[in-house]
Structure 1
Amino acid sequence: MENMLHLAPSSQAQALALDRSSVFSREHVPPAVSAVTSLPVIDMSRSRDEVRRAILDAGMEFGFFLVVEHGIPEEVMRDMLEVCEEFFQLPAASKAYMYSEDSQRPNRIFSGTTYDTGGDKYWRDCLRLACPSSFPVGSGTRDDWPHTPQRLRGVVERFTALTRGLGVELLRLLSEAMGIRPDYFEGDISAGDVVLNVNHYPPCPSPEKTLGLPPHCDRNLITLLLQGSVYGLDVAYRGEWIKVEPMPGALVVNFGQQLEVRI
């Protein structure tokens, strides 16, 4: 299971220089976004029958949808956005201990803008944290998490616990809609760590020449995304791209490749 957070640049931040390794040719840039189709919005407060049918329909048609009235308090989402923005506004030197290009390291920062990585660079900074499947966690579990801001660890724990619970409930509803046992995706299939990716996109002098992320498929079971105020998420649909505009209070849900294989 994966949680993602997309953060807009601070209004006070200065645009960084765009070097050759951050510029992509036209064939690597997604085609124009369609303005005709939008993703389904599922109201979790409606009847269980309506919700599970809507989840199945949206999953089969798009693999993506938005959920509202999902039970995660607004203050939890707001705190998560704020504390992660505080983290990225810290000086680069004070976050350097978290930096690593080792993909096997579960807790780290990697970046295409702030630190020199070599090779192609995508225009984002990412904080990746491995979050246990249940809280409270044992001593030492969070030792590799950021030390500052001081409240970050508690905020991340609360946000991750609640979003994981929502993810499990969405999978139960999907299972019911397909006529299989509700706990089909529980146990070993979803018992691992929740991977939290916090994506931060600094101001870019020429956004039409670069990419924050390349076109890709999520390889996990299910992803829940809190967009914040960031515009730029596109979803591939029938050879075109749907622009997903941020919706206050909503979470974007993406069924990953593991889920597609399982069903």
Structure 2
Amino acid sequence: MPAPEIWQGTPEVPRSVVICPDPRLWHVPYGALLRGETALVDVAEVTLTPSLRTLCLVRDRARQAGPAARGAGTAARGVGTAGSLLDDALPAHSRERAALDAWPGGHRPLGALAEVAGLPDPALLYVSGHGAAPRDSRDSGDSVLGPSGVTLDSLATLPLPELLLLVGCWSATAASRYGRDPLSLAVGGLLGGARTVVAGVGRIGEQAAARIAGETLRYVAEGMPARSALRAAARALRDRHPELGPYDWAGMCVMGAGD
């Protein structure tokens, strides 16, 4: 991050930074980038965004879906229902469920992704599971998250809430060949109407990711924007556990299409 203005933020008054990564650089835990001894997460709130070409797809999809399919805009106030598809085989399953059960608007576990369309006043959707490393751009659209088989296509065809959490490895990124924009699960979420997607940029630590996602939910319920909430959760985990690596505490990112 060469621009000096980015690094003039402080932990209390961070800069707002939007990064549109080169297609080959979606696997970077950007919050952990250093200038001297200062990590980017300490001076900035970071949002990743797809290429202009993919943003056009997202905006076209939003116009076709109409405002009713974009959610009620209630997540920032901690109201509205939280839906979830949790992988109960993961070690942190109980921690994730406890965080969702504490959501002020109520929590409804789902049996299948399509059931999100029936949530009353949906505020967010939380999906957890193992994600396989994508191999190249030809395979990226076939990436699957969790035992419920969430894919880019299944997300893109639904009316999703404004906030989507995809807590699993590689959910924010897909490998790219020849400079093509990687179409990840997170992009599928944006195509489905989510304004903000919290997802993993690489092989993230399961326990750490669950802790960060749970803390992010708590901060969002208190009224924080998702990018601020994720930053606060990541910094808190890093400070409590300095032994963790960057893909543990900075492996979750906020991805959005902007306002």
Larger Rg belongs to: 1
Which structure carries more relative contact order (alpha carbon 8 Å, separation 6+)?
1
Structure with a larger share of its residues in helix:
2
* TM score, norm. by length of structure 1: 0.31
* TM score, norm. by length of structure 2: 0.32
